[in-house]
Structure 1
Amino acid sequence: MSNTPHTLQEEFPADAERITALKGANAHFARLLEDYDAVNDKVHRAETRLEAVTEDVEQDLRRRRSSLKDEIARMLRAA
């Protein structure tokens, strides 16, 4: 498992099978997962100071991560 916090496995531990199935069946969902992972990695790099960003940029990244997570959760509930 990744050392990056807020991975989708941590956020949705009971939905691993549903995530895998939906990822294979729905290109939009698969893209959301990729986007979430990319933004989450950027947040982690900003929080650990591996990548220098302003506080505003860091907050924007957190908001984007939250928005992606919300959309993923909506799709999981609808599946």
Structure 2
Amino acid sequence: MTIEKHDLVHEFPDHQHTIRHLKMNDRHFARLFEQYNELDSLIHKMEEGAEPTSDDVLNEKKAERVQLKDALFTFIKEAEAVN
């Protein structure tokens, strides 16, 4: 089974320009973006077996990733609505 990373640009390819703009110009977005990437890397390691964990912890981390992704997508949509 191939384990896929869920980086934000891959998840939202149509919004690459907005993501780059927000990373450079919005501290809160940049901080959430960094948290999302760190969490995604951790989940990837857990799924590969490089980071020992339980199914419950893995599922909690995945739920956190979804929440962060939703928050980031809200930022993206709001920024695009203004432009």
Identity %: 32
TM-score with structure 2 length normalisation? Answer: 0.87
Question: In the alignment, residue 40 of structure 1 is paired with which amino acid?
Answer: D
Query: Which residue is 1:13 aligned to?
Result: 13
2:9–2:19 CA contact under 8 A, matched in 1: no
Residue 40 of structure 2: aligned partner: 40
- Please report how far the alpha carbon of residue 23 of structure 1 lies from its aligned counterpart in structure 2 after TM superposition: 1.1
Alpha-carbon distance, 1:4 to partner: 5.1
The one-letter amino acid paired with 2:54 is T
Residue by residue over 1:46-73, the C-alpha shift from the partner in whole angstroms, topping out at 9 and shown as x without a partner, is 1111111011110111001000000000
Q: Kindly report which structure 2 residues correspond to 1:50-65, keeping only aligned pairs within 5 A, or say none.
A: 50-65=50-65
Runs of 4+ in structure 1 over 6 Å off: none
In structure 1, give the amino acid aligned to 2:18.
Answer: R
What is the alpha-carbon distance in structure 2 between the residues aligned to residue 77 and residue 51 of structure 1?
A: 34
Aligned to 1:73: 73
Contact 1:4 1:41 survives alignment (8 Å)? no
Verify: 1:30 aligned to 2:26, yes or no.
no
Structure 1 unaligned regions, length at least 5: none
CA radius of gyration, larger in: 2
